[in-house]
Structure 1
Amino acid sequence: MRSPALPLAVALALISGGCQERRPDDVPVIVSAIGGPATLRDPARGPLDFPDAVLLGATAQGLVRFDANGGIEPGVAERWIVSDEGRSYIFRIRNAEWPDGTRVTAADVVASLRAAIATSARSPYAPFVAVIDEIVEMTPQVIEVRLKHPRPDLLKLFAQPEFAILRRPRIAGTGPLRADAEGGGSPLLRPVPDPYAVIENAAAPEAADNVRLIGERAAVALARFAARESDLILGGSFHDWPLLDHAGVAPANLRVDPAAGLFGLAIVSEEGFTADPANRAALGMAIDRAALTARFRPEWTPVETLLPAQLDSAAAPAAPAWLAQPLDARRILARNRVAAWRAANPDASPVIRIAMPRSLGTKLLWYGLLRDLRAIGLQPAWVEERADADLRLIDAVAPYDSGRWYLATACRQCPDDLATVIDAARDAPTLVDRARRIAEADLALTAAHRYIPIAQPLRWSVAALRLRAFQTNPRAWHPLTHLRER
């Protein structure tokens, strides 16, 4: 197996064109997950890197898990009932075993979920699990998750790797795959046999059911794929999209997910130019979204509202007042606003600090933002991802389809009045009231111009044609058990 530590220049030199379809269909599937080495880590100890999340999702399923289309299928739970408008979730635990052969019990599942929720403050899901009131063992095979308020969409949250059912302190899961002891730095994952299956009806394991998972940089992953040494690249985003221009990936191999989520700039400063809502509106008016997204791909559709659709809101997505005006008219208004502010504040700095990670894709984004903001009289400055800033890039796929996720995720460092409106949607006693509160929060956040939408997240994969079960989906999540058709 080639070392993943190839220098960038060497990796790019190895990339060549052509449609990848030379690996046979009777060998393990080799998957590159973009990022660092894939390690099995407890999500309670901090956010997971993408390769770690892929490995955890493959070896430690939750109560439920995602299928190839981003839908929900059974995991540790074989079936479930949602009642009381989404306030009660009752799960029946299937006949599953830990790696040492002991039976998974409802008590194990309760302990794992309680630990995940107790430490969720370290995860991006913290605002969305506060609704859980208690998790109780009803019988040795049945648990109930009781909520303070109705949430009919909680299953997709439980399908995230962060809510995998684990045995602690030594991390162990129930599959559906298990890392081979000889896997080394690139684990070989084998299907977990079902000890309760009827032997005569069980399909014999095949070498092609195994998966070799490699965590590595995008350039190295593309070089590996071009050299016919892998079958799949997962975790592509706007950061690495420019590499595809040099990779010669055939259109049949490139898969772009219809990902739902946020890609835009959150207002994170209450000082200087961004202290005034009218000034924040000027920032939104200045950006040529169509030109910016076209720098990456013509099909990357720009957006101008916070919510992508009505979802569970009582109203259509709130639109800024300037939405109906053409770009040239918007920019005239924005330039006038900047000029008026500078005249009233002659000693104030026109610098707008934008916090973004460093990558080839961010450079493309930066050049577009630089042009747009300079055009209205401001001076953008690129600062490090965690540095003090006026604007901060958000690039996140929605874990489930609720307007409250968009509101809570977009409103970074929100003032108390807006945070209170968003929290009111969380605490709504009924689904009707929740929908109304989400609509009110969407309207308030849009009127305050606290978030500048640009597009939906750009997520891509590169898949060999032999992976006929691979599907793009709105979650941009691709289980390693749904790659081939047997």
Structure 2
Amino acid sequence: MFRPALPLAAALALFAAGCEQRPDDVAVVVSAIGGEAKLADPARGELDFASRVMLDSTAQGLVRFDGSGGIEPGLAERWIVIDGGRSYIFRLREAEWPDGTPVDAADVVQSLKRTIDPKSRVAIAPFVAVIDEIVEMTPRIVEVRLKRPRPDLLKLFAQPELAILRRPALAGTGPFRTERGQAPLLLRPGFDPSRVGGETVEPDPADDVHLRGERAARAIVRFVERESDLVLGGTYRDWPLLARIEIAPANIKVDPAAGLFGFAIVSREGFLATPENRAAIAMAFDRAALTAAFRPEWQPVETLLPARLDSAADPAVPEWAVLPLESRRLTARNRVAAWHAANPDAPRTIRVALARSPGATLLWSRIARDLMDMGLRPVWVQEDEDADLRLIDAVAPYDSGRWYLVTACRLCPEPLMEQIEAARDAPTLTDRAQRIADADMALTADAAYIPIAQPLRWSLVALRLRAWQPNARAWHPLTHLREAGQ
């Protein structure tokens, strides 16, 4: 249920407040959209966005993302990749646990083994199965040995899920430490034993960060009322809320996120039993109208892979892509009519799984119209219920075609899954690239996924946070918000 739009006078008052910025000499206040910002063990299951921000802020991995989405040192001060991408050797910097105990290679090995254990439920488990062994070479050196070459693995090591933790307390090594009993959470820059001279330096309160996890609507209002400096984690679900309150365009930032935004076909019964019929749904969607309903600059896509990436070929293009929209729709209507004539008693229902939100309502209004136009009866079901189409909205953790294939293929037949697994098991990078290309072509021909666009990710950013940068990972570490000396 939508709330009515704010009265004009109230909206203008909030807009005027939003144009001013908080002073530079105070702590940064951050809202992460989601549930409570709390420490949680990634090995126990998928974390929500606010918990990922909390984990990234208090428990770094061997490497980390910088403000631009690139890789910077974390616990590892430097590293080398040898043996054709089969071995990563990390040299650890000096670091301490919160109780002052030095971090050593044994701690790192124990933490990583716990996270990637086959019994672990870490969200990125399918993509770290390539790790064969993690070895303590010396108290300061860790080697990660792989079954097959992966020269692009550092972006996975930078994910919050691969943070180095001391369990069961879930203690981390920073870059921030939490102050107990604070609401919102008070994060302070952590102690760094590698500082020059070994002298304790009192932290500047302006370097502190106050972090809270909360609903998007409350986070937006807090930002406009100048109670916060930053809102992180905005998606298509909450984008329509921004139209209900005036915010200066300079404060609205959209990431060029790489990933998947589209529908996995998770049922192969009835109308969806054949690739031709599954493709009929894909060709019936008016992607340009759908994305423009959110944001004119949000560009639609028609391929699974966004670019060649590590594939041996350009993204596979579906056969229907050469047709104009009206021809696509006519073809889709004809296929439904032919199927119904052959199966007059079969239901035409298509169940679409979406989480309830303002953005989902807007998305539903477009796709339901297109499904009805082709002669089907769309039904909205909850995202955890049985469905025929299930929305995938995910940012790619690293730039590999295999991530796209695995993530999109939610109910693929065994031969198609074998092709995707063949890419995982390829003995060389050349073989891997070819197998990714083959699997991309096979999945596209099977019409197992309906691409719509790249993920929509947005933030609200105060002008004083001059170091904030948009990036393809849509990830913004709390250590990269303000320029040095600011």
Out of 228, 238, 241, the position equivalent to 2:239 is 241
The letter for the 2-side match of 1:76 is L
Contact 1:64 1:75 in 2 (8 A): yes
Change in Cα spacing, 1:428 to 1:48, as seen in structure 2 (3 Å) is: same
Whole-Å separation in 1 of the counterparts to 2:163 and 2:53: 12
1:195 alignment partner in structure 2: 193
The letter for the 1-side match of 2:137 is M
The letter for the 2-side match of 1:244 is L
| 1:286-326 CA distance string (max 9 Å, x none) | 00000000110000000000000000000000000011110
Contact 1:263 1:457 in 2 (8 A): yes
Contact 1:120 1:126 in 2 (8 A): no
Whole-Å separation in 2 of the counterparts to 1:138 and 1:304: 47
Change in Cα spacing, 1:229 to 1:12, as seen in structure 2 (3 Å) is: farther
Contact 1:11 1:223 in 2 (8 A): no
SS at match of 2:365: helix
The letter for the 2-side match of 1:478 is H
Deviation at 1:425, TM superposition (A): 0.3
Whole-Å separation in 2 of the counterparts to 1:382 and 1:12: 29
Whole-Å separation in 2 of the counterparts to 1:415 and 1:459: 32
Change in Cα spacing, 1:34 to 1:10, as seen in structure 2 (3 Å) is: farther
Identical aligned pairs, as a percentage? 67
| 1:40-67 CA distance string (max 9 Å, x none) | 1111122111111100100000010000
Greater shift, 255-264 or 347-356, is seen at: 347-356
The letter for the 1-side match of 2:51 is D
2:385 alignment partner in structure 1: 387
Q: Please, which runs of 5 or more residues in structure 1 have no aligned partner?
A: 1-6
Whole-Å separation in 2 of the counterparts to 1:132 and 1:424: 17
The letter for the 1-side match of 2:393 is D
The letter for the 1-side match of 2:154 is L
Contact 1:38 1:214 in 2 (8 A): yes
Deviation at 1:21, TM superposition (A): 3.4
SS at match of 1:259: coil
| 1:79-135 CA distance string (max 9 Å, x none) | 111112211010111100000000000000000000000167523312111111011
The letter for the 2-side match of 1:113 is L
SS at match of 1:151: coil
Contact 1:12 1:219 in 2 (8 A): no
2:99 is the counterpart of 1:104: no
SS at match of 1:370: helix
List aligned pairs for 1:326-365, cutoff 5 A.
326-365=324-363
The letter for the 2-side match of 1:397 is V
Whole-Å separation in 2 of the counterparts to 1:365 and 1:10: 20
The letter for the 2-side match of 1:294 is A
2:141 alignment partner in structure 1: 142
SS at match of 2:55: helix
The letter for the 2-side match of 1:328 is E
SS at match of 2:211: strand
Greater shift, 117-126 or 476-485, is seen at: 117-126
2:273 alignment partner in structure 1: 275
Change in Cα spacing, 1:282 to 1:11, as seen in structure 2 (3 Å) is: closer
Deviation at 1:464, TM superposition (A): 0.3
Whole-Å separation in 1 of the counterparts to 2:6 and 2:417: 46
Report the count of equivalent residues.
479
Whole-Å separation in 2 of the counterparts to 1:200 and 1:99: 17
The letter for the 1-side match of 2:107 is D
List aligned pairs for 1:175-214, cutoff 5 A.
175-183=174-182, 185-199=183-197, 205-214=203-212
Change in Cα spacing, 1:443 to 1:120, as seen in structure 2 (3 Å) is: farther
Contact 1:28 1:210 in 2 (8 A): yes
Out of 428, 431, 454, the position equivalent to 1:430 is 428
The letter for the 1-side match of 2:250 is A
1:219 alignment partner in structure 2: 217
Change in Cα spacing, 1:57 to 1:43, as seen in structure 2 (3 Å) is: same
Deviation at 1:22, TM superposition (A): 2.6
| 1:237-272 CA distance string (max 9 Å, x none) | 000000000121111100000000000000111211
| 1:378-398 CA distance string (max 9 Å, x none) | 111111101111111000000
Contact 2:44 2:122 in 1 (8 A): no
Whole-Å separation in 2 of the counterparts to 1:164 and 1:201: 27
Change in Cα spacing, 1:484 to 1:351, as seen in structure 2 (3 Å) is: same
Out of 246, 256, 259, the position equivalent to 2:257 is 259
Whole-Å separation in 2 of the counterparts to 1:119 and 1:187: 33
RMSD over equivalenced CA pairs, Å: 1.8
The letter for the 2-side match of 1:422 is I
Whole-Å separation in 1 of the counterparts to 2:411 and 2:370: 25
**TM-score under structure 2 normalisation?**
0.96
Contact 2:405 2:439 in 1 (8 A): yes
Greater shift, 119-128 or 26-35, is seen at: 119-128
Contact 1:21 1:466 in 2 (8 A): no
Whole-Å separation in 1 of the counterparts to 2:302 and 2:475: 25
Deviation at 1:181, TM superposition (A): 2.0
| 1:316-337 CA distance string (max 9 Å, x none) | 0000001111000011111111
Deviation at 1:180, TM superposition (A): 1.1
| 1:209-231 CA distance string (max 9 Å, x none) | 10000111111111111111100
Whole-Å separation in 2 of the counterparts to 1:189 and 1:213: 7
1:375 alignment partner in structure 2: 373
2:166 is the counterpart of 1:164: no
**TM-score under structure 1 normalisation?**
0.96
Contact 1:61 1:165 in 2 (8 A): yes
Whole-Å separation in 2 of the counterparts to 1:155 and 1:130: 14
The letter for the 2-side match of 1:162 is E
Deviation at 1:414, TM superposition (A): 1.3
